[in-house]
Structure 1
């Protein structure tokens, strides 16, 4: 009933405008929305993971603390189906959780895969096309590609192997005593390629089938902090420590099979030339038309900045948080932006205000702000012949109204026929 009262054109708004909710359950250090947007996984500083149900306004439905990590969580990543959750932490462990078992009597077996790597982990992400494959960037070491389709995981290194001409142009690299280390990785939307960013400003592209580098380019001389790809695979946002966010237009990585023909053009550069703001994290919306970023260590660190990507102009500053914001993520299905605080670990959620429209139930219903004087029609209370009434009833009965078949797409173009995994809830077992 309440969903029917919402204005369908209000749902089509592409970016949030006001702070709607704040979630507090432990100290959140990292979080991620599920692909369907129904759940939010929060990694805590004590090594456990909390899962919120966004359909019920952020109620906690699971707390993954048994067989969890013993150090703070560094990243959480959902599978596309929503059933599996990858967690990494500073204890050098990577764990894959089967969420169908977290609230069952045999919840102790929820961790179905686990691996120890060679150091603390910066971040990790699941392959969109295979939930049993993921990449992880390690502290002061090369990134790894893990395939644990079998219980015995296969661990592969994905290191940077530039050609000789590229090394000749990198004079600073040749004279530097520090080695090139991968800091962040990101899969393409089809899982065919992996983009990696290094501490020397290189963007390297690897083929997930051969694990060979197929393309490389140097974008800056600073550390690359974030690599975020739009869901449609057309844009790439690169956040580096030189205080500049670069928006790159990607070629058609699916049809252009020759990596030598790829061209990565920088469309826009987002920076604050006055205050010289440092950016913590960036994220695209569902169609890549908007980009949001959180700031670092300034008076504006409690705000989120939203740009329009076609022209590169700042259109909105989201306010309302009471602490510096770290990561920022976009919930595509619910048009919601989330960010976690540094001091208290609170998760702040900005969303769109949905005004109720009674005209959505009846097209002839007119909404008025003030009372108006009603004027009676001339034939409003005239006696109508029964034959005419029966004829009108028959005409109305001929028109078929389907109230059972759901729509295939909503007002924002999302496919509503796709079903994601629903985490079972045990109401008799308390969440601790």
Structure 2
């Protein structure tokens, strides 16, 4: 997106609620890498995968051992696996295509958030942020955990062991902390309760740098942009901060080692802060200077040009959108329901939000028809106008005034095979097959309903006392045969079945003239007349035709009329 040439009043961001998804009580959401699938964790322990193109359910992942609410869902890089954390302290890794559980691990604390390692297509290592303990690296294959440091001291390794003493501001030692991998997963960025960003080497469990946050408030959320160039933090001082990543996207750990060698003259915390200043630089700050509200689930847009955050106030569903320069461009107001989670589509200007009652709202751009974009001389009219044509408007153009032919060389070959690389997915491995859609399996009919239909049809066949092969075939197909020697008897049989409470077919309502003739026949039965000439023969013939064509009982008349 080229931001300088965009109309500031028509930005590439969502504006209205386009649709909503409903299935149980959903708690958290996550898009896959292409935005074609949306995973939602529910309060009953299941994980629903929506096909975002058709807005239908593609798969349901349900573990009989998990009945607690889902706290977070995370896709692997190429969509082959999904990691689900639940309130029963469990972490479950799923195979998306097969719909099978790969492994399940139980922690000591409830994980509020869990993220798979982004550097592998089939990762078995994840980062978990428990409720009341420090973030940890979890090996899903073995179940082993490694606790990451959350604070600093003047010791040689720069790590303080966990302590149960309260901090100077009276907060608990393990206020829920936030942590995330960088783009390729070689470093972990941890936001602690002292208002510091720790850059941790998770393989050696060692702090390599620290970045103090102004204000020193508790950091509640920390997340990288999709391209890895910017880092977002949400602090308890009601401010969202954007930091620019100064490290290279690849081999960031090696760059930290070089910075460590150049800062040998410093020692302890000062050395870590000096290294941290070479890793992150404050770029922008976002806050509501009037209401001073807290923010919920802030994140970047897919291209990193926009920053979005939900209001954490109860009873309102508001979403604030800023551009990266710091200007508030849009406030989306939804229903009177609190917002609990938020996600921006990786490719399109679409925001998906989760309400407190478990509905998922899809916010999209409100596109208006602009026909002049296709024809510059097109003029839109507010109302019909009489058109007066010019005198020479439809005259034939002479050969000399015809438009010159195009200079395009028709012999040039056009390449329709080569696929241009999308900048948003520049790190894609061509050899790796990415899961974009799930195969749709046809749902068979429930056997119980089939047996019920066959049983009811067989009863109808038995009630008609039919022994012919056509009756048996009709009973198997769920149809009943009325055996009658004439159409009048067939109508009587259908009327009798209707009075019995079972409507086999839809009855057609007779016309007004038909009702009059039927009522007249009931009141005055037709008498046979002696033939007294040609006119009397014609009269008797017409009356007999009426008698044979309209021979319906009074009960049928009343039944059809009412």
Q: Shared fold by TM > 0.5?
A: yes
Separation in structure 2 between the aligned mates of residue 32 and residue 317 of structure 1, nearest angstrom: 22
| Equivalent in the alignment of 2:34 | 36
Separation in structure 1 between the aligned mates of residue 60 and residue 237 of structure 2, nearest angstrom: 38
Give TM-score, length-normalised by structure 1.
Answer: 0.80
Please report how far the alpha carbon of residue 27 of structure 1 lies from its aligned counterpart in structure 2 after TM superposition.
0.8
Structure 1 position 124 matched with structure 2 position 124: no
| Equivalent in the alignment of 2:181 | 187
Separation in structure 2 between the aligned mates of residue 184 and residue 393 of structure 1, nearest angstrom: 61
Please report how far the alpha carbon of residue 265 of structure 1 lies from its aligned counterpart in structure 2 after TM superposition.
3.2
Please report how far the alpha carbon of residue 341 of structure 1 lies from its aligned counterpart in structure 2 after TM superposition.
0.3
Structure 1 position 71 matched with structure 2 position 63: no
> CA RMSD of the aligned region, Å?
3.7
Please report how far the alpha carbon of residue 400 of structure 1 lies from its aligned counterpart in structure 2 after TM superposition.
4.2
- Give 1:293-312 correspondences, 5 Å limit: 293-297=309-313, 301-310=316-325, 312=326
- Give 1:11-410 correspondences, 5 Å limit: 14-56=12-54, 58-67=55-64, 69-102=66-99, 110-130=100-120, 131-148=123-140, 151-164=141-154, 173=167, 176=170, 178-181=172-175, 183-219=177-213, 220-253=215-248, 254=252, 256-257=255-256, 258=259, 260-263=274-277, 264-297=280-313, 301-310=316-325, 312-342=326-356, 344-354=357-367, 367-370=378-381, 373=389, 376=393, 380=397, 397-402=410-415, 404-405=416-417, 407-408=419-420
Counterpart secondary structure, 1:262: helix
Separation in structure 1 between the aligned mates of residue 193 and residue 288 of structure 2, nearest angstrom: 22
Please report how far the alpha carbon of residue 347 of structure 1 lies from its aligned counterpart in structure 2 after TM superposition.
0.8
Separation in structure 1 between the aligned mates of residue 159 and residue 63 of structure 2, nearest angstrom: 48
Please report how far the alpha carbon of residue 182 of structure 1 lies from its aligned counterpart in structure 2 after TM superposition.
5.2
- What do residues 152-187 of structure 1 show as CA deviations (whole Å, max 9, x unaligned)? 34321112351328999xx98358583245522111
Give TM-score, length-normalised by structure 2.
Answer: 0.63
Separation in structure 2 between the aligned mates of residue 273 and residue 30 of structure 1, nearest angstrom: 29
Separation in structure 2 between the aligned mates of residue 185 and residue 329 of structure 1, nearest angstrom: 18
Separation in structure 2 between the aligned mates of residue 184 and residue 122 of structure 1, nearest angstrom: 9
Aligned length: 399
Structure 1 position 424 matched with structure 2 position 438: yes
Q: CA 1:368/1:420 → structure 2, altered by over 3 Å: closer, same or farther?
A: farther
Q: CA 1:127/1:359 → structure 2, altered by over 3 Å: closer, same or farther?
A: farther
Larger proportion of strand: 1
Q: CA 1:425/1:68 → structure 2, altered by over 3 Å: closer, same or farther?
A: farther
- What do residues 129-150 of structure 1 show as CA deviations (whole Å, max 9, x unaligned)? 02222100112112210233xx
Q: CA 1:297/1:176 → structure 2, altered by over 3 Å: closer, same or farther?
A: closer
Q: In terms of mean alpha carbon deviation, does 232-241 or 26-35 score higher?
A: 232-241
Q: CA 1:100/1:399 → structure 2, altered by over 3 Å: closer, same or farther?
A: same
Q: CA 1:115/1:401 → structure 2, altered by over 3 Å: closer, same or farther?
A: same
Please report how far the alpha carbon of residue 48 of structure 1 lies from its aligned counterpart in structure 2 after TM superposition.
0.6
What are the ranges of 5 or more consecutive residues in structure 1 without an aligned counterpart?
Answer: 1-8, 103-109, 384-391
Separation in structure 1 between the aligned mates of residue 303 and residue 38 of structure 2, nearest angstrom: 21
Separation in structure 1 between the aligned mates of residue 169 and residue 396 of structure 2, nearest angstrom: 93
Whether the 8 Å CA contact 2:223–2:233 is kept in 1: the answer is yes
| Equivalent in the alignment of 1:387 | none
The structure with the largest alpha-carbon Rg is: 2
Separation in structure 1 between the aligned mates of residue 307 and residue 227 of structure 2, nearest angstrom: 14
Larger proportion of helix: 2
Please report how far the alpha carbon of residue 395 of structure 1 lies from its aligned counterpart in structure 2 after TM superposition.
8.0
